[in-house]
Structure 1
Amino acid sequence: MTRELNVLGACPLDCPDTCSWVVTVRDGEAVGLRGNKVQPYTRGALCVKVNRYVEHTKAADRILYPMRRIGPKGSGRFTRIGWDEALDEIARRLTAIIEEFGGEAIWPYQGTGTLGYIQGESGLAGWRLWNALGASRHDLNICSRAGNLGLARTNGTPGGMDPEMFARSRLILLWGTNTLTSGHHLWKFIQDARADGAHVVAIDPIRTRTADQADEHLAIRPGTDAVLALALVHVVLDEGAEDRDFIERHTEGWEGFEREVRKYPPKVAAEITGIPEKTIRALGVRLAHTRPTAIRATMGVQRHQGGGTAMRTIACIPGVTGDWRHPGGGVAYSTSAHVPLRVDPRRGLRPETPTRTLTMTRLAEGLADTRRPVKCLWVYAANPMGSTSDQNRVREGLLREDLFTVVMEQFPTDTVDYADIVLPATMQFEHADLHAGYGHMYLMWNEPAVPPAGESASTTETFRRLARAMGLTEPSLYASDLEIAEELLSADHPALAGVTLERLRAEGWARLNYPNPFVPFAGGFPTPSRRLRFVPEGKGYVPPATARADGPYKLALITPAPHVFLNTVFGNNPELARRAGAPKVLVNAKDAADRGLSDGQRVRVFNGHGAMTAELQVSDRVAPGVVAAPKGSWPKLSPDGVNVNVLVEERDADMGRGAVYHDNLVEIGPVP
């Protein structure tokens, strides 16, 4: 008889929605996947990318066995080996590196390929092992760090609104976020608000598919978001609509912030942001008189030189309007800070060994350091050759013959091609994990639905095997996945009241035990004074690097997320790659005409860091002076072996050394 069952799980990918899903399994094989209809945020819908996940797990190019390199680095030539052989070689090489250079010569380069608290970066998977070995600490700052720190400077935490509260909003500012592509489940709540008369504004350098559906689109110049925020507050003050009671009772630093605001009337802001003065003034008037107002600002808004300051200043708006008083008012960036799980990487396993911190956004720099050299790069849940800035210099580092590189992967990415040893990794249907969305207030349990494919192993199982191969005796290195889950849920926090592993495994999800409706700062802000901290005078705006287009490169480059890829995940899926098409660059008609370029022409996009070829699309979706080239393609599947990150400088944002993917100048010309 055919035996069919449904297994509850969760999407692991780097998206705020973290969907609850149901896997249909027939005779031990996953044959179907659907969104969980009873989960309040997922509501039965998955995205265009994850709808192909069953197909993706069975792809012909999936890595199923350990492999050793047999060709030059970068060639992608490997031979199959056994797990024992792979682990013996790794243990021997790591031991030799530690003896000669110390544990800090090992760089565990973890990414956001999975966000799980057991298998992924949210729980710092593998860090007990790395701390036991004295490895360098990995600063995983590439995605959202600048914005997190900016919000924390204002509110004391990057945590803010429950996105479900957008259904109660009357004015919604979608600021630097393409909701319908990168977290589309929020749109349902926006639609609920619109049904009650809410006005939706998209603030974005690109007229995205979200901007197409909004009531207004403000085509802001990249990196000038803080100026717009200050100008909107300026109009609120002109209208006499600031919430004086809230300011006096719940904030600090008002006088200095008011002086900063007065420097940016709409006329001045229009010159900087490229948004017409009358448009800024009209939105400011609407903001002044519409309660509650919700601001959705996600990671794109802070990927430039002044990204942290931009989020810090945007976060001041509800402090002026008093929107934090109301369900449906405030700022939503990430809900991760509301998740009180107990993450324990056991940092004290080698307390006698001082360790350095290596920064994710500075991979090329770290691999080029000869004073304290990295001798082992261990890559997992990451594809830095495709996703990291300064692609040409990263490639130089990965080509080092003295660099022992181990990659744990599901598919033969560009990074895999530079590995010495490749270890096959399980996919989400094949292992247990605990998830929390950074765009909602739920915990999700992922139950294994099918056995691991081939000889693949989960992240936790791989590190248990390596600890055993290295003869380590620390008991915590061998904790099972269910033991880790129990430990994560053991935090003494009221938000976890009633949330047990038994319940999660039975039901698949549980809402964190916060009030509903959730007003996050009803009891005060988590700052020393319990007050929101306004931006000091002179600290409200850090201009982007693209503001100085006085050299040979005149066009500000944006690298948006495409609709069919998630970072470089799915870049090898034939159907999704077909939908994405060849690399493209969107250019305004004026800029194309100024350079004698025409629609559909193959062009060279270049700057001092590198160059790529792309198909030029003349479009009014970008303003003059701005070009857009989507991220996510695999370099080795592109015509010239690179993607758009070859044009991105390895440079720091103003806070947290955040990445600057949207703050680079380029030029465009015909292909020679």
Structure 2
Amino acid sequence: YGQTSPAFIRIGNGIQHHDNGGMCVRTIACLPALTGQWLVRGGGAIKGNKGFLEHNKSALQRPDLLADKNTRVINMNELGKALLEANPPVKSLFVYTSNPAIVAPDGNKVRQGLAREDLFTVVHDLFLTETARYADIVLPATSSYENMDFYTSYWHHYIQLQKPVLAPYGESKSNTELFRLLAAAMGYDEPAFRDSDEEMIRQALQGHGNPHLEGIDFETLAERNFMKAKVDSYFAGRLATPSGKIELYSQAMADRGYPALPTYTPLLTDDAYPYRFIPGPNHNFLNSTFSNNDKHVKMEKIPRLHMNSADALAAGIADGDTVRVWNERGECELVVSVGENVLPGVVVSQGLWADAPQAKHYVNALTPDRVADMGGGATFFSGRVDVVKLAK
């Protein structure tokens, strides 16, 4: 890498799911500075380029409305802990655009919390998800085909206006329409609760201070349906750091309690299980989305656990065996795929599969609910497990 030019690093999306994920990404991002590749065409490193399409999020999220308020904020990665241990206790839960009974870490703890008799739960969803089965009230949601919205990307440079192509089915409502109706029913009459979807998109495309969105407004976007950001192919100017330079030593990091220099921090070893467990995604689901669709399930076939040949041989496990994967948080049963596609000491599952009768493939029963070193992210990939062959 040090002697190749141009040399480009695509920083993947799995790294941050470890205890030391933030520092790992920061360290990798510094490598092009050491090699001089950050100013070489075709060189450098990238985690994502959504900044080209950065819009006015404050106009949508309205953090000013929470000013001087003591509103409690709970990290979703610690949802199980919050539902079982928070003081004062969480008494109500409103779930939309998520399925925490499948996707949240330390899932048995999450489900135990969702099952509390004194927890009032409302779920707004397009499907009767695993989480919806715990709800006191289930509200029907619209699909993207029935809503007006706008989409940006982590990677390409286009912003797209989504226009509804279907009328809402039955009594289903979009997230924003539901919130408008709730606000009106509860007597909140502030203007922010009456903004239409079109008005909110207009607000997002104004006052953003992003030169790459110059010339993109609602009228033009509505006419063209999609538009491309103005993107320079070569960096020129000041970096968005306090010094305007690349900061291998970061005083801002030090001020926030982090090491000022890129620093190796080993993963936590808080348990003695022999295998690092990586519950990765698969090709045919998107988190838990599509896992209830017969076509996608048939393409993915069955939940599997990938295991290194040397580990399998030592454990007396053969390709195609059903195994119990377990730790102190829970267990699941998966069919083993033995090979060289994973490292020794590591086992990898793929996909968040929907609950099914007699199925035991709930992989987030095994994942820790610790948060990563930076940003409060999840540590899905830092858990450890044991694997044993099940008798036929």
Q: TM-score, normalised by structure 1?
A: 0.54
Q: Deviations over 1:619-644 (max 9, x none)?
A: 2111221111113211x227445511
For 1:375, which of 88, 91, 102 is the aligned residue?
91
Cα deviation, residue 604, structure 1? 0.4
Give the structure 1 partner of residue 386 of structure 2: 667
CA distance 1:523–1:538, shift in 2 (3 Å): closer
Question: 2:246 matched to 1:532?
Answer: yes
- Which structure has the greater CA radius of gyration? 1
For 1:655, which of 357, 374, 388 is the aligned residue?
374
Q: Deviations over 1:122-179 (max 9, x none)?
A: xxxxxxxxxxxxxxxxxxxxxxxxxxxxxxxxxxxxxxxxxxxxxxxxxxxxxxxxxx
Write the letter of the residue equivalent to 2:7: T
SS across alignment from 1:662: helix
Cα deviation, residue 356, structure 1? 2.1
SS across alignment from 2:116: coil
Give the structure 2 partner of residue 490 of structure 1: 206
Give the structure 2 partner of residue 86 of structure 1: none
Give the structure 1 partner of residue 122 of structure 2: 406
Write the letter of the residue equivalent to 1:559: P
SS across alignment from 2:159: strand
Cα deviation, residue 323, structure 1? 1.8
Q: Deviations over 1:86-137 (max 9, x none)?
A: xxxxxxxxxxxxxxxxxxxxxxxxxxxxxxxxxxxxxxxxxxxxxxxxxxxx
Cα deviation, residue 351, structure 1? 4.1
Asked whether the equivalents of residues 8 and 43 of structure 2 are also in contact (C-alpha less than 8 Å), the reply is yes
Unaligned runs of 5+ residues in structure 2 are: 250-258
- Determine the C-alpha separation between the residues in 1 that align with 2:177 and 2:244: 43
Cα deviation, residue 602, structure 1? 1.1
Write the letter of the residue equivalent to 1:340: E
Question: 2:337 matched to 1:617?
Answer: yes
- Determine the C-alpha separation between the residues in 2 that align with 1:332 and 1:466: 41
SS across alignment from 1:524: coil
- Determine the C-alpha separation between the residues in 1 that align with 2:367 and 2:132: 22
For 1:415, which of 107, 131, 142 is the aligned residue?
131
Give the structure 1 partner of residue 349 of structure 2: 629
Question: 2:41 matched to 1:327?
Answer: yes
Write the letter of the residue equivalent to 2:334: A
Write the letter of the residue equivalent to 1:561: P
Cα deviation, residue 288, structure 1? 2.4
SS across alignment from 1:406: strand
CA distance 1:470–1:554, shift in 2 (3 Å): same
Q: TM-score, normalised by structure 2?
A: 0.92
Unaligned runs of 5+ residues in structure 1 are: 1-286
Question: 2:225 matched to 1:502?
Answer: no
CA distance 1:470–1:606, shift in 2 (3 Å): same
Give the structure 1 partner of residue 182 of structure 2: 466
For 2:51, which of 328, 337, 350 is the aligned residue?
337
SS across alignment from 1:628: strand
Cα deviation, residue 549, structure 1? 8.8
Asked whether the equivalents of residues 630 and 644 of structure 1 are also in contact (C-alpha less than 8 Å), the reply is no
Write the letter of the residue equivalent to 1:544: L
- Determine the C-alpha separation between the residues in 1 that align with 2:337 and 2:156: 36
Give the structure 2 partner of residue 575 of structure 1: 295
For 2:193, which of 468, 477, 498 is the aligned residue?
477
Asked whether the equivalents of residues 631 and 645 of structure 1 are also in contact (C-alpha less than 8 Å), the reply is no
Cα deviation, residue 518, structure 1? 4.2
- Determine the C-alpha separation between the residues in 1 that align with 2:43 and 2:66: 46
SS across alignment from 1:579: helix
- Determine the C-alpha separation between the residues in 2 that align with 1:599 and 1:493: 53
Superposed counterparts of 1:540-559, under 5 Å: 540-545=263-268, 548=269, 551=272, 553-559=273-279
Question: 2:143 matched to 1:424?
Answer: no
Cα deviation, residue 550, structure 1? 7.4
Give the structure 2 partner of residue 294 of structure 1: 8
Superposed counterparts of 1:275-314, under 5 Å: 287-314=1-28
Asked whether the equivalents of residues 303 and 351 of structure 2 are also in contact (C-alpha less than 8 Å), the reply is no
Question: 2:323 matched to 1:606?
Answer: no
- Determine the C-alpha separation between the residues in 1 that align with 2:184 and 2:351: 39
Cα deviation, residue 671, structure 1? 2.4
Give the structure 1 partner of residue 106 of structure 2: 390
CA distance 1:396–1:372, shift in 2 (3 Å): same
Length, aligned pairs only: 379
- Determine the C-alpha separation between the residues in 1 that align with 2:358 and 2:350: 15
SS across alignment from 1:397: helix
Cα deviation, residue 540, structure 1? 1.8
- Determine the C-alpha separation between the residues in 1 that align with 2:210 and 2:318: 60
SS across alignment from 1:629: strand
Write the letter of the residue equivalent to 1:665: R
- Determine the C-alpha separation between the residues in 2 that align with 1:330 and 1:370: 44
- Determine the C-alpha separation between the residues in 1 that align with 2:6 and 2:195: 47
Q: Deviations over 1:592-632 (max 9, x none)?
A: 11111111111100111110001111121112211111132
Asked whether the equivalents of residues 609 and 648 of structure 1 are also in contact (C-alpha less than 8 Å), the reply is yes
Give the structure 2 partner of residue 449 of structure 1: 165
Give the structure 2 partner of residue 126 of structure 1: none
RMSD (Å) for aligned C-alpha atoms: 1.8
SS across alignment from 2:69: coil
- Determine the C-alpha separation between the residues in 2 that align with 1:652 and 1:393: 16
Asked whether the equivalents of residues 555 and 627 of structure 1 are also in contact (C-alpha less than 8 Å), the reply is yes
Give the structure 1 partner of residue 256 of structure 2: none
Q: Deviations over 1:500-523 (max 9, x none)?
A: 2122122221111232x243xx21
- Determine the C-alpha separation between the residues in 2 that align with 1:527 and 1:502: 35
CA distance 1:591–1:399, shift in 2 (3 Å): same
- Determine the C-alpha separation between the residues in 2 that align with 1:404 and 1:644: 26
Asked whether the equivalents of residues 562 and 631 of structure 1 are also in contact (C-alpha less than 8 Å), the reply is yes
Give the structure 1 partner of residue 286 of structure 2: 566
